[in-house]
A = this chain, B = another copy of it.
Amino acid sequence: MRHTTINDLAKLLKLSPSTVSRALRDHPDISKKTKEKVLEMAAHTNYQPNIIAQSLQNRRSNTIGVIIPEIRNTFFSTVISGIEEVAYQAGYIIMVCQSGDTYAREVLNTKALAANRVAGMLVSTSQETTDYSHLKTAIAQGIHIVFFDRIPEEIEASKVIVDDFEGAYGAVNHLIERGYQRIAHLAGNPTLYVSRKRSDGYEAALRDHYREIRSEYIITGGYHEEDGRAGVERLLCLTDPPDAIFTINDPVAIGAFRQLQDRGMAIPGKMALVGFSNNPNTALVRPRITTVNQPAFEIGQTTARLLLKNFYLSPEKQKVETIVLKTELIVRESS
């Protein structure tokens, strides 16, 4: 048994495909009686509209493409949940692609989604991406894109971010107030806007308290646990090691935590630690890790809503907007 089509229904009912189509879509022209007959037969034969054909005809698809670095990162999987919830309620389905944090895969993902004629894309760029022409091309082709978290500055499009600068500033400010003297920063790749903003917040907080910014305390690396471990190793090799660390995100904080733990360093006694994101993990370890909450689920919802909103607006009414969500410092025992 194959899928039932409108033509099948038309033949069975001795009606034209047009009438069946209209009956199915509850067109006012069609009589109650016909509608009932059609609906009954549709249910009976398990008819399901071919959305592929509808999309082709209507030149609008019901799928939203999502490109993220890595689904296994709790932050991103939570964002996806938020996206999916909103998309689902609006009758959209999501296609998820991982760039694996590489530029090459991100380009391929973008093309694949464009070729699939998604109604729109929600993207968080890879840490390698500095050339945004693949995304610009997609936009030029008429595909709506909303960026979140890892956004390209140079593209004029809607974006959803958090107040990274404020979040980082608050975290470092908190460390200073707690009396830590030598505060290091495990920073992210400066190609990413978020990373730069968090680093800026770190530096601004130090500066506002007349603290020296020591370049040996700023270690640039990636976004994973191993980067946290490596960063801690490098900091501990310094002749004057720091007494506190602020990390670019929580995976890095967890890596730092484990490395410090493996080295037998007391947290926060020997080294204080503050992360960023509020991954559930940070509340699981002992001491629990102080972190900056990023409302991941809400970021997902907001991003999806921003996209959907544009779908229903005429091109001239569509406007580009950047929504900045609030972060919140969650003070726990690691600082």
Contacts and interface: CB of A to CB of B under 8 A. Distances in A.
B46 A52 contact: no
Nearest to A84: B98
B51 A115 contact: yes
Contacts of A98: 81, 84
- The size bracket of the interface on A is 35 or more
B3 A63 contact: no
A285 B286 CA distance: 7
Interface stretch (A13-21, A71-79, A149-157, A177-185): A71-79
Interface centre among A49, A112, A137, by most chain B C-beta atoms within 10 angstroms, is: A112
A141 interface: yes
Copies in the complex: 2
A206 interface: no
Contact of A2 (B62, B77, B112, B142): B142
A142 B4 CA distance: 11
Contacts of A88: 97
Nearest to A70: B81
Contact of A96 (B70, B84, B115): B84
A119 to B, nearest CB: 11
Given A94-B96, A95-B93, A115 B50 contact: yes
Contact of A141 (B2, B56, B95, B286): B2
A280 to B, nearest CB: 8
Interface string A134-168: 00010011100000000000000000000000000
Given A77-B77, A93-B112, A98-B84, A117 B52 contact: yes
A306 interface: no
A81 B74 contact: no
A111 interface: yes
B284 A284 contact: yes
A318 interface: no
Interface of A: 1-3, 46, 48-53, 55-56, 61-63, 70-72, 74, 77-78, 80-81, 84, 88, 93-98, 111-117, 137, 140-142, 254, 258, 281, 284-286
The list of the 9 closest CB pairs from A to B, nearest first, reads A77-B77, A51-B115, A48-B115, A96-B96, A51-B116, A52-B117, A71-B77, A52-B56, A52-B55
22 contacts: A1-B140, A1-B142, A46-B137, A46-B140, A50-B117, A51-B115, A52-B52, A52-B117, A62-B116, A63-B95, A70-B81, A71-B80, A71-B81, A84-B97, A84-B98, A93-B112, A93-B113, A93-B116, A254-B284, A258-B284, A285-B286, A286-B286
